[in-house]
Structure formats: structure tokens, C-alpha cells
């Protein structure tokens, strides 16, 4: 396998991870919206508030991971362009 093929494979792997993380961000965000709605309507007990807080922390961590993967993917694309 040449270096070019390795770079292309790595870019595809990162693209798959990014799709997964973006779908996870969407799912957690929708859960947070429902949690906020329950809090506004005074239907939330402390378990929902704790769960929403944990979800928010996880959302921020996934967002940071997504951004680092995007930076890595851009770097790999630049390396691939140098190879051509």
C-alpha cells in the first residue's frame, strides 16, 4: 500500500467517525431540548436535571473531539495534496 492509499484510507476512517459523532451530537441535543422543556414546565425532578447536566458535559466533550478530528482530517487532506 502506497502512502497515498494510506492517507485516503485514514481520511475515510476519520470521515466515518465524524458522521458517527455528528449523529450522536444530534441525539444528545434533542434529549437536552426535552429536558429543558421538562424543567420549564416544572415536570422535571432532580434526576432529569442531573441527567441533562451530564448530557451537556458529554455534548461538549464530543464537540471538542469532533473539532480535533476535523483538524486532523484537514491536515491529512493537505498531505494528500502534497503527494499528488
Q: Over the stretch 51-64, which tens digit does the pLDDT of each residue have?
A: 999 999 999 999 99
CA angle centred on 7, ends 5 and 9, rounded to 5°: 70
How far is it, in rounded angstroms, from Cα 47 to Cα 80? 49
Q: Over the stretch 6-54, which tens digit does the pLDDT of each residue have?
A: 999 999 999 999 999 999 999 999 999 999 999 899 888 888 889 999 9
Which position has the grid cell 458529554? Answer: 58
Nearest CA-CA partner of 33 in 18, 20, 44:
44
Give yes or no for residue 3 having a pLDDT over 90.
no
Amino acid at each position: 500500500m502506497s502512502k497515498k492509499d494510506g492517507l485516503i484510507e485514514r481520511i475515510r476512517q476519520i470521515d466515518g467517525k465524524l458522521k458517527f459523532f455528528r449523529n450522536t451530537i444530534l441525539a444528545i441535543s434533542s434529549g437536552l431540548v426535552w429536558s429543558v422543556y421538562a424543567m420549564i414546565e416544572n415536570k422535571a425532578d432532580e434526576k432529569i436535571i442531573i441527567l441533562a447536566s451530564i448530557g451537556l458535559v458529554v455534548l461538549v466533550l464530543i464537540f471538542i473531539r469532533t473539532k480535533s478530528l476535523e483538524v486532523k482530517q484537514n491536515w491529512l487532506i493537505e498531505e494528500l495534496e502534497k503527494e499528488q
